[in-house]
Every structure is written in C-alpha cells, then in structure tokens.
Amino acid sequence: MTTGFFWDERCFWHGGGNYAGMLPVGGLVQPMNGGLPESPETKRRLKNLIAVTGLARDLVMRGAAPATTADLLRVHPAHYLERFKALSDAGGGELGRRTPFGPGGYEIAALSAGLAKAALLAVLQDEMDNAYALSRPPGHHCLPDFPNGFCLLNNIGIAIEAARAAGLAQRFAVLDWDVHHGNGTEAIFYDRADVLTVSIHQDRNYPMDTGAFADRGTGAGAGCNLNIPLPPGTGHKGYLAAMDRLALPAIRDFAPDVLIIACGYDAAANDPLGRMLATADTFAQMTARVMKLARDICDGRLVMVHEGGYSETYVPFCGHAVLQTMAGSTVHAPDPFAEVFPLRQPDAGFDAYLDTVIDDMAAHLTA
Ligand SMILES: [Zn+2]
C-alpha cells in the first residue's frame, strides 16, 4: 500500500480567541491552548507519535500548496472570503460562532483546505492508494458564509469541487464519523445528487438543532444525505453496528468514485467535547471496514481528512491506529488506555436499546 500523509507545520500555528475549552471566558480564568478552543496539540502529538514509532517511514509524507482563491470560490461566496481575509490581515477576530482566528488565519485555513485537496487529487490521480490530510483548522461545520464549530473553510467541500473541476471524479461519498454533526458539508451538498453525505454523530451534541435522521436531502439531492444520530454512551459495538447496518450499505448503494472520511476522534472515550465510548481499536476497525468497502466499490480510493478530536492524550493513539491500518503497516503503537476503556463499554441493556434505535433507522431506509 502507498499511503500519503499531508501535513504542514503552519497548520499548528492557527490560534486566537480567549477560551477555556469551548467556552469564551473573557478575563475570568486562564485561557487554554493559546486561547483557541481547538487545540493544536492533538494533531501535533499525532504527527510526532508516527515519527517516534517509525510509522512515518511507511507513509509518503507530503506538504501541499494552499487552496487557491478559485478553489475557495467554488464553495464560499466572495463576500465571505473578503471579510475573512480583511479581518485576518487586521490581526484576527471572529466572523461566526465561537470560531476565532489570529493574524494569518486566512492563509492557514487555505493551507488546511489545500492539504485536503492535495490528498484527494493524489488518490484520484493514482499517485497513491489512499491518503490522510492532517488539516487544521477543521472544516466540516463550516457553511458557505458562516464559520462555526472551530471551522473556517469547508476543507472537504473545497477538495471535492477541485477534483470535479479537474475532471478527476463525478460521484463522491463523504462519511463523517466526528462525534459532532457534519452540518457544513451537509448544507453545501444538500440539494446535490452527485455527493452523498453521511454523518454518524452524538445526537444533539453540536450543533444542537441539526443532524436529524429525517433530514435526507432536498430536490435532486433527496435521499443523498443520511444522518445517523446515536445516543450518548454509544461505544465500540454500537459504532461498528451503525457502520455495518446503516452507513456502509448506503455508501455501497450510492457507488461513488471515491470515499472521503471526515475523520474526527471526538467519539473517543475520554474526549472533553463528546460523551461516547469509542477506543483506538474502534477507529482501527472502522478504518478496515471503509478500506474494504472502497476496494469493493471504487478501486480502494479512500481519503481521510482530520476534523475534531480534543483529547491530547488519546487522539495520537486513535490516529496512529487509523494510519497503521490505512498503510497496512506492522508498526503499532500500543494503546495505553486498552486496559481501561474496554471496561467502560455500555452494558448489554444499553446495547439492546441501541439495537432498537438502529433497527428503527434501518427500517425507514428500506421502507
Ligand atoms: Zn467534532
């Protein structure tokens, strides 16, 4: 396997705001992570872990050019980009909801989108079998003209439109397993028949008013959006059941040219912004499943774009498990939480309840 890993040091320099965790705190308490709610350390520590274990030697490490203005304009209106650039040049600020940025934030966001674009193009041009973009800031919450949820540009939307403009693919499937709803990607493609968007998320975590199962797309895009909201506490078995019984069959039926994963790690058992119980092994097994599906339906073409994940201790191990699986590498990072998190999984009663939740959604899909 040839697996690309697209990253850039400058993506770790994105900053701004005065937050403690996800809440603006003003002057009341010491800000965290340079004030930004979304920490650079989760991603930097993943990149460092693959260097320390040697997994990086089994990957093709690449940088990328920033997404061009033409790339950004395929998804975001000119008035939004102009306001974003002007405020970034003026030292940073806030244009949406709890999504601050510092000086140069515009250029860093364009670079983050450029990593996603380069990863997708490299796979579609058969330069590598699959690829991972360590994009930061993340993208899946960003609407065309409204940044939210720490997302300033919609990285995956920009990558898809660049690939389409280059004539490299016609049909795209996006599976978003970040614990939060992929509301931005859903909104961009909601009326489109050529892009399937699937989001597995914690029910009413963020945003609290989007992500319902009933939201299936509109117009030509009717049936091309699938939300799979799961109750807080869903663990390893529940995630794999939702994949096997809902997400993967929908993608198989859609028959895309390429499968793109909005890869957040905030469904992990100790994430501060989620209340789920996934483990590094859950992410490895979900990765094995999407790789098999991609082999079955689109010559293995698979691209992962990093989204959320806020545990500085655990994101590196979850990401390492994903990358080891993608590359088919023997370089393993033992999960230090493996003796704890399996013991915290839901009991049989919860799993039986979750089965009824998934059964109900599956019945509606086949009705
Ligand atoms: Zn998230």
Q: Range of 193's domain?
A: 3-366
Compute the distance between CA of residue 75 and CA of residue 84 in angstroms, rounded to an integer: 14
The answer to whether the bond into 207 is cis (omega within 30° of 0) is: yes
Query: Within the chain, how many helices (H) and strands (E) appear?
Result: 11, 10
Q: How many other C-beta atoms can be found within 10 angstroms of the C-beta atom of residue 165? A: 11
In which element (H, E) is residue 199 found?
A: strand 195-202
Compute the distance between CA of residue 189 and CA of residue 180 in angstroms, rounded to an integer: 18
Which is the catalytic residue, given 14, 76, 140, 141?
Answer: 141
Task: Give residue 166 CA to ligand 1 midpoint distance, Å.
Answer: 30
Q: How many other C-beta atoms can be found within 10 angstroms of the C-beta atom of residue 240? A: 15
Q: What is the pLDDT of residue 16?
A: 83
Task: Give residue 180 CA to ligand 1 midpoint distance, Å.
Answer: 4
Q: Are 179 and 202 in contact (CB under 8 A)?
A: yes
pTM tops 0.95? yes
Q: What is the pLDDT of residues 213-270, one digit of tens each?
A: 999 999 999 999 999 999 999 999 999 999 999 999 999 999 999 999 999 999 999 9
pLDDT surpasses 80 at 344: yes
Q: Is 141 labeled as catalytic in the residue annotation?
A: yes
367 against 187, higher pLDDT: 187
Task: Give residue 128 CA to ligand 1 midpoint distance, Å.
Answer: 28
Residues 6+ apart with CB under 8 A from 305: 115, 116, 119, 132, 133, 135, 139, 155, 156, 159, 260, 261, 262, 263
pLDDT surpasses 90 at 367: no
Residue 294 half-sphere exposure, CB side, CA atoms within 13 Å?
A: 25
DSSP string, 300-342: T-EEEEE-----TTTHHHHHHHHHHHHHT-S-----TTTTTGG
CATH number, domain of 350, equals 3.40.800.20
Domain count, the chain: 1
Q: What is the pLDDT of residues 182-192, one digit of tens each?
A: 999 999 999 99
